[in-house]
Amino acid sequence: MVKRATAQSARQKPARPHRHGKGRCVAVLRKLSAYIDDELPGTLCAELRKHLGGCPNCEEFVASLRQTVTLCRHQPTPSLSATERARMRDQILKAARAR
Amino acid sequence: MAITATKTGPDRSSADSSHTTASFDTLYRDHVDLMYRFATRLCGESEAAKDLVQETFLNAYRGYKAFRGDAQVSTWLYTIASRACMRMRRKRKGEPDHELSLEEFIPTSDGEFRLQIPVEGLSPEEALQNKQLRQALDQAIAKLPKKYRMVLILRDMEGLSAKEVGSVVGLNERAVKSRLHRARLFVRRELSARGIAEPEETHNGHRLTHRGA
């Protein structure tokens, strides 16, 4: 699996400095879930949107966080077979009565 | 809780065994798939997941008479399952249950701002047909400290509201959202740290051979 350090663009140059300082970064980062969940009050949301418009890195970051949540929501899971379902029911009842 | 009961407990005056079994069967039939799904998301592997489902319904069977119906049955079962899961011994030694700080999620190089995975132009269902991506997502979630994993699964995978998650794990809504946010950032970082190939191109660094051959 490709490690973080080998990502193409990261190899040549160190981090491209943000236009805003780290403190601002954390302030933006803190609000991103509320932003993508549509839970930010109007003024804060407008402020954040304005910032994202001028900061491609943050814009990409939000998109990737949104993708992450979307993938979580759609991750498939296996289901139980009818036989397993019945077997487990019997075991539970047996255990419940064994007390 | 503002949630109205969709189902109430059995008639408490008639506690005979056949009645209890019939009530249990209804409870089990209606919710076993939900609990199995939740358990596989929490435990990952199917045997541990089955153990958790059995433990959950056993506890539900024993506690059914005390269930007051002031919450949805599913929320009640989620609560039992999450407590049972927190009690279960950690199988992998050294699994950290540390606090996640926001600072650790600030990318430090350009490549970390986005996900290096093939999702462009694909629906989530199509993107998740990529086995490598499904595994990477499972691994990222499994790597989360348990209390963060619990909140992420309940909110983003099981689809409970933040308030419902709070009642399941015993936190206020604000704490749930804070924990959820850190969990999402963690999974995002794990995914961005990995390069996942298009399914047709490579598999473990080797060219795939023809499927039909």
Residues of chain B with Cβ-Cβ distance to A32 below 8 Å are: 181, 185
Nearest to B1 by CA among B81, B69, B83, B82: B69
pLDDT tens for each residue of A29-72: 899 999 999 999 999 999 999 888 888 888 889 999 999 999 99
Most confident of A79-88, B1-10, B85-94: A79-88
Distance between CA atoms of B184 and B181, rounded to whole angstroms?
5
Best interface-test mutation with A: which of B17, B57, B65, B176 has the largest number of A CBs within 10 A?
A: B57
ipTM over 0.85: no
What does the block give as tokens for B79?
């609560």
| HSE-CB for B163 with a 13 A CA cutoff | 5
Residues of B numbered 31-60 whose beta carbons fall under 8 angstroms of chain A's beta carbons: which are they?
A: 32-33, 36-37, 40-41, 46, 50, 53-54, 57-58
A69 and B184 in contact by Cβ < 8 A?
yes
Chain B residue with CA closest to A14: the answer is: B109
DSSP label of B6: S
Neighbours of A89 (CB within 10 A): 17
pLDDT tens for each residue of B116-170: 777 778 899 999 999 999 999 999 999 999 999 999 999 999 999 999 999 999 9
Minimum-distance CB partner of A80 among B36, B107, B113: B36
Chain A residue with CA closest to B115: the answer is: A64
